[in-house]
A and B are shown apart, each in its own frame.
Chain A
Amino acid sequence: QQQVKQSPQSLIVQKGGISIINCAYENTAFDYFPWYQQFPGKGPALLIAIRPDVSEKKEGRFTISFNKSAKQFSLHIMDSQPGDSATYFCAARSGGGSNYKLTFGKGTLLTVNP
């Protein structure tokens, strides 16, 4: 059972364009939604994250939009650069206290053409 659905599977954007990646979840107990960036041969790197009591969070060129009622959230990369070419994963946290785990989407391969 895939609890976090991510789309699109792959995305090609021109330099300077906006990249948009979407995720949807089913489990209303999820309470924290991070995005990770992964380059080939590397581990995922935490990019930006949001809690469900906030509808939008912006850090530099990266913005998360969160729609709690629709159980959807998205990552927007403004002014996309070739160096942003990587695989992006959305995730959702479940658990309580000191017990928790992340459930990941299947990933989006972003290619930014120069």
Chain B
Amino acid sequence: DAGVTQSPTHLIKTRGQHVTLRCSPISGHKSVSWYQQVLGQGPQFIFQYYEKEERGRGNFPDRFSARQFPNYSSELNVNALLLGDSALYLCASSFVVYEQYFGPGTRLTVT
């Protein structure tokens, strides 16, 4: 069975640019969450979407936005990139309320 897939794998952007990260959940999973993992730290919650509606938002600035599509895939958008946005961005999907399964992540480097 295919797990959570994310694209691209790696991305290099310049400060001030915009980036879009994509996630496809496990088939049958309707909830997608986004996390940011800075090197050496645990993942930090950014957004949760369920049935195409935002259900939760972490402590991130408005430069971060996301959406979920009818096929339950999701995009995370970050505007006006800062050096501090460099991190591994993880997408997690879930079917039942408790278990979240993570994708391999997108490594974003902002220069």
Contact = CB atoms under 8 A, between A and B. Distances in A.
Interface size class of B (residues with CB under 8 A): 20 to 34
Nearest to A32: B98
A61 B92 CA distance: 25
Interface of B: 4, 31, 33, 35, 40-45, 48, 50-51, 55-56, 58, 90, 92, 97-105
Contacts of A4: 42
A46 B99 contact: yes
19 contacts: A34-B99, A36-B102, A41-B104, A43-B4, A43-B90, A43-B102, A46-B99, A46-B102, A95-B48, A99-B55, A100-B55, A101-B33, A101-B58, A102-B33, A102-B35, A102-B92, A103-B45, A104-B42, A106-B40
B98 A49 contact: yes
Interface residues of A, number: 28
Contacts of A42: 104-105
Contacts of B31: 98
A8 interface: no
A61 B33 CA distance: 29
A43 B105 contact: yes
A44 interface: yes
B7 to A, nearest CB: 13
Contacts of A6: 42
Contact of B56 (A34, A95, A105): A95
B104 A43 contact: yes
B102 A99 contact: no
Contacts of A91: 42
Given A42-B104, A43-B90, A43-B104, A102 B45 contact: yes
